[in-house]
Amino acid sequence: MMRTVTMADVAKHANVSKSTVSQYLNKRYDYMGEKTKLRIEEAIKELGYQPNIVARSLKQKSTKTIGVIVANILHTFSTEVSRAIEDVCQLADFHTIICNADDDPAKEKKYIEMLRAKQVDGLIIFPTGNNRDLYKRMLDEKYPVVFLDRPVPDISVSSVMLNNEKASEIAVNHFYEKGHRRIAMITASIAENVSPRVERIDGFKKALRALNLVVIEEYVKSVQPDEVKEALREMWRAGEPPEAILAGNDRVLKEILTFVKENGLSIPADLSIIGIDDVPYADFYNPPLTTVAQPTFQMGKTAAEVLLDKIHKKEPEDDRPDDRFDPELIIRASVLEKGGV
């Protein structure tokens, strides 16, 4: 069996002290000559030295790693936010471990416990809201944590979120300006009180009332993705189907588009559509889809920066205000301009 190459072997090969090799590995080059750096670099290459990250982590009391627990990695939002978090962490020389909780409190609990057992320096969580004791324990221990996409009532963790009510409001206003009055909305299930979904429905109803439109409860549905098509069939069976529909997220939008295709409907002639989340296919779908975009990269960047700040301060404060980002309406061609309204 081959003997493990140690830091002492590298020091001897490069004709420097162990502490100089340690400074090189930790990128502390302040008083290190260029020739010394090159000798150490060559010695590491020639000997095939691999630093013991676990030992270094124990010594530095930091693993230079954060955990990210997303609600559902299939969502465009989750993917883009995770990418932004990784970009920020990579620049700060931190690694990221991304876990997919599927909005399942049991999975979320398991991942929080696993990541903390691995001694990650902090967590960014899309919280299910149903592990309050765990959240409180992290707060009590001053463990660095940031919530993304959702707050949890009475848990004072820094949260980075969209202005969800505004997302619905700008969509409803756009439908109204184009002459639509029978407007529906479908979101994913609110059975677990996931705050963005609740806020988007609240914003939808408020926007309708502000325009003196009646809120037709049969036009407002919160269901699992595989129940979206049945919810739409119910709307169509009820007599007058909606003229326009707001999809609460990208997975709901996909189900609505499938329903439209399967039933020979035409967008926007038969149904105008706006989706919350600017899906990658929105601009080349036929017709191109009007969407409400979240500033996903800015939200992910902010969450990572807030977490790293907490980690570096060692005494994380959670009295900072939450970050709420404004959505943007991206107008394309999936909303019909109605005449004579």
Mutual angle of helices 250-262 and 228-237, in 10-degree steps = 50
Whether 309 and 122 have beta carbons less than 8 Å apart is answered as no
Whether 208 and 172 have beta carbons less than 8 Å apart is answered as yes
Report d(CA 215, CA 205) in Å as an integer: 6
Please tell me the least confidently modeled range out of 36-50, 55-69, 163-177, 269-283: 55-69
Task: Give the CATH H-level superfamily of domain 64-162+296-326.
Answer: Response regulator (3.40.50.2300)
Q: What is the pLDDT of residues 77-92, one digit of tens each?
A: 999 999 999 999 999 9
Structure tokens at 340: 């004579």
Structure tokens at 75: 């969502």
pLDDT for the residue 211: 98
Query: Are 64-162+296-326 and 164-294 the same fold in CATH?
Result: yes
pTM beyond 0.75: yes
Q: pLDDT band at residue 194, thresholds of 50, 70 and 90?
A: confident
Question: pLDDT averaged over the chain?
Answer: 91
Q: What is the pLDDT of residues 100-154, one digit of tens each?
A: 999 999 999 999 999 999 999 999 999 999 999 999 999 999 999 999 999 998 8
- Tell the CATH topology of 164-294: Rossmann fold (3.40.50)
Report d(CA 236, CA 256) in Å as an integer: 13
Report d(CA 42, CA 36) in Å as an integer: 10
Extents of the domains making up the chain: 7-51, 64-162+296-326, 164-294
Phi and psi (nearest 5°) for 329? -80, 125
